[in-house]
């Protein structure tokens, strides 16, 4: 069952449930309204049963190579919804949480600053590798079932629409809207095991891609996409390249998407360069992503060519699969050796991840909801408002100068017509990210200028993160601190100790009124950094636990000391 089919199946169940409740005079909660047999019947009629079975992320334990697909997701703590089933915190504006109304997500991100710098490549590698691990699709419905209201024409909370209200917000740059559009994530089908109706009806989300660090964003996560990305005509085991453009030195670009015209931007003359195609559909979100994807396309083809030279008896399929295995191993090594320790700090790496002792079949490697929706979004606060493009002397490129970040969104034409990927790669490795401006949690480029292809309205990435956490029913900041063995925050003084910034602590508690109301993304984001790390204790714990699970639960994981390219990875 595809992700889209699964979303339709779950939507039909929710709609049926909503019809039943709307037809009743009395307020009846789900366990009283439906029996377990009713839930099973609804699942069968909707087409959900095939999706409710336990996912097997790697179907063959004896295959030399990975399968291309695997859809997995899990929760480390039970979901928290206002109605116990699926309505996110803040759905009913009048509902009190610990005696207080929740602040709007838009309000919660105004007035903070993070005075911290990172090298740009580290920042963009985080975004890149996140796209290898998680992708939560949005609801396929654009209008409310019960009222048939167009989601873009209302600021009301009607499934599957959960708009971010901007009313009375000082300092906003929005021109004519009182809310920012927000579509809820596609719901996963109900759990089929057990007989707990409340648990079965509780909304869960899905991860539409493989959760493993396996370079699925290079090769795709479905057989159809994998086939499209391969060069099946050359019998070389290589990936397909762009048949219209290459850089000045003859190096290839990514192929274009099959659908034309694509939704990517035109250049200054109005000429269209179509969107690039890669194993992950988010490749065109920015020039750094395009550059990294292009780099790995070229590396695959380089290694495939080298393998063919030293193993001329290998079939094209074997060349492709062996090269794919090497590229996947390189993604794992770079992430676990060079990236994660710098993010969570060496002490947290040793505590939560430690030395590799081998594959553990008892470990669940699927992506946790809190990791995908909150912890690994820490990098959004490290985005710079300027993309640096450097020449061979690592100075600003004379012909292709630096760009404001919003001008890099969905603009593959800049790769083709403005010097290729090299100036961007140099900018990522040769420039430190500056400190974020005071009084801004995220730079304006991503809070007010984030392009969305199907909407002319600007989106606020920080508010989206908070709203997405509520959409997914993530428990609050305190619950996750307790999960990680950290002290709960009970008073303003407790918060000041954790943040070590009295002003920010006072602002947060003034907005949320109660420590248990603090959203996990915001709370984790503003914690004081650990030594030699780029996150606080909470996110270090959540990221560390997830990365250990991804490593230890992956039968194909290759730790850094097991793979020396000159000795092992290229052996016949």
Local confidence pLDDT in tens for the 572 residues of the chain: 555 555 555 555 565 555 555 555 444 555 555 665 666 665 665 556 544 444 444 444 556 777 766 555 567 787 887 777 767 777 677 777 777 777 766 555 555 544 444 578 998 999 999 999 998 887 766 666 556 666 566 677 666 666 666 544 444 444 445 677 777 877 776 555 555 656 666 778 888 888 899 999 999 999 999 999 999 988 899 999 999 999 999 999 999 998 877 789 888 888 889 999 999 999 999 999 999 999 999 999 999 999 999 999 999 999 999 999 999 999 999 999 999 999 999 999 999 999 999 999 999 999 999 999 999 998 877 778 899 999 999 999 999 999 998 899 999 999 999 999 999 999 999 988 654 433 455 555 555 554 443 343 445 677 788 888 888 889 999 999 999 999 999 999 999 999 878 888 998 999 999 999 999 999 999 899 999 998 999 999 999 999 999 999 998 877 665 545 434 444 43
Question: With contact defined as beta carbons under 8 Å apart, do 252 and 301 qualify?
Answer: yes
Whether 70 maps to a domain, the answer reads no
Residue 264 lies in a domain: yes
Distances 147 to 156, 158, 308 between C-alpha atoms, Å:
11, 8, 61
Instruction: Evaluate whether residue 8 is within a structural domain.
Output: no
Longest CA pairwise span in the chain (Å)? 76
Q: Which residues are CB-neighbours of 86 under 8 A, at least 6 positions away?
A: 14, 187, 201, 202, 203, 473
Q: What is the dihedral of CA 412, 416, 418, 421, to 10 degrees?
A: 80
Q: Is 168 part of any known ligand binding site?
A: no
Is 401 inside any structural domain?
Answer: yes
- 490 belongs to a structural domain: no
Query: Which of 131, 159, 406, 472 is flagged as catalytic?
Result: 131
Kindly report the CATH number assigned to the domain that includes residue 330: 1.10.640.10
Does 254 fall in a domain?
yes
Is position 131 annotated as part of the catalytic site?
yes
Please indicate, yes or no, if residue 79 is contained in any of the structural domains. Answer: no
Cis peptide upstream of residue 261 (ω within 30 degrees of 0): yes
Q: Is residue 238 part of a domain?
A: yes
C-beta of residue 178 within 8 angstroms of C-beta of residue 167: yes
What is the C-alpha to C-alpha distance for residues 80 and 84, in angstroms, rounded to an integer?
7
Question: Domains in the chain: how many in total?
Answer: 1
Q: How far apart are CA 407 and CA 410, in angstroms?
A: 8
Tell me the residue range of the domain where 236 lies: 216-350+386-434
């Amino acid at each position: 069952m595809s992700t889209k089919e699964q979303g339709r199946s779950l939507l039909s169940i929710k709609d049926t449930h909503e019809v039943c409740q709307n037809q009743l005079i009395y307020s009846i909660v789900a366990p009283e309204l439906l029996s377990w047999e009713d839930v099973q019947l609804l699942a069968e009629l909707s087409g959900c049963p095939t999706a409710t079975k336990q996912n097997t992320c790697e179907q063959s334990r004896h295959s030399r190579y990975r399968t291309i697909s695997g859809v997995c997701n899990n929760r480390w703590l039970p979901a928290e919804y206002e109605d116990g089933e699926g309505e996110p915190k803040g759905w009913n504006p009048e509902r009190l949480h610990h005696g207080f109304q929740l602040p709007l997500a838009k309000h919660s991100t105004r007035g903070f600053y993070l005075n911290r710098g990172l090298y740009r490549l580290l920042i963009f590698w985080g975004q890149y590798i996140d796209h290898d691990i998680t992708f939560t699709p949005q609801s396929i419905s654009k209008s409310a079932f019960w009222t048939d209201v167009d989601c873009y024409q209302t600021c009301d909370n009607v499934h599957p629409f959960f708009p971010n209200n901007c009313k009375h917000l000082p300092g906003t740059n929005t021109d004519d809207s009182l809310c920012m559009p927000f579509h809820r994530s596609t719901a996963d089908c109900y759990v089929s095991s057990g007989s707990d109706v409340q648990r079965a009806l509780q909304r869960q989300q899905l991860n539409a891609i493989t959760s493993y660090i396996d370079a699925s964003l290079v090769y795709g996560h479905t057989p159809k996409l994998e086939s499209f990305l391969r060069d099946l005509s050359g019998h070389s085991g290589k990936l397909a390249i762009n048949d219209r453009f290459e850089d000045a030195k003859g190096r290839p670009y990514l192929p274009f998407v099959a659908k034309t015209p694509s939704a990517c931007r035109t250049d200054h003359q109005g000429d269209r360069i179509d969107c690039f195609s890669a194993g992950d559909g988010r490749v065109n979100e920015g020039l750094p992503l395009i550059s990294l994807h292009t780099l790995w396309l070229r590396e695959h083809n380089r290694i495939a060519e080298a393998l063919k030279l030293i193993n001329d008896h290998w079939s094209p399929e074997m060349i492709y699969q062996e090269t794919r295995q090497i590229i996947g191993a390189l993604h794992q090594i770079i992430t676990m050796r060079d990236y994660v320790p710098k993010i969570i700090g060496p002490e947290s790496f040793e505590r939560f991840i430690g030395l590799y002792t081998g594959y553990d079949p008892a470990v669940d490697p699927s992506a946790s909801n809190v990791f995908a929706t909150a912890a690994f979004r820490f990098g959004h606060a490290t985005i710079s408002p300027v993309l640096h493009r450097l020449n061979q002397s690592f100075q600003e490129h004379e012909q292709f100068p630096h760009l404001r970040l919003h001008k890099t969104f969905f603009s593959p034409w800049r790769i083709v017509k403005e010097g290729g990927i090299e100036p961007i790669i140099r900018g990522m490795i040769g420039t430190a990210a500056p400190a974020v401006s005071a009084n801004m949690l995220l730079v304006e480029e991503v809070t007010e200028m984030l392009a969305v292809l199907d909407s002319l309205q600007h989106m606020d990435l920080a508010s989206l993160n908070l709203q997405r956490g509520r959409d997914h029913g993530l428990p609050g900041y305190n619950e996750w601190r307790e999960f990680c063995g950290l002290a709960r925050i009970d008073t303003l003084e407790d918060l000041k100790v954790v943040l070590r910034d009295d002003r920010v602590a006072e602002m947060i508690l003034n907005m949320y009124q109660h420590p248990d109301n603090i959203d996990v993304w915001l709370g984790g984001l503003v914690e004081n950094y650990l030594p030699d790390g780029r996150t606080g204790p909470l996110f270090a714990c959540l990221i560390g636990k997830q990365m250990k699970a991804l490593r230890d639960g992956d039968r194909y994981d290759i730790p850094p000391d097991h793979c020396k390219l000159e000795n092992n990875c290229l052996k016949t």
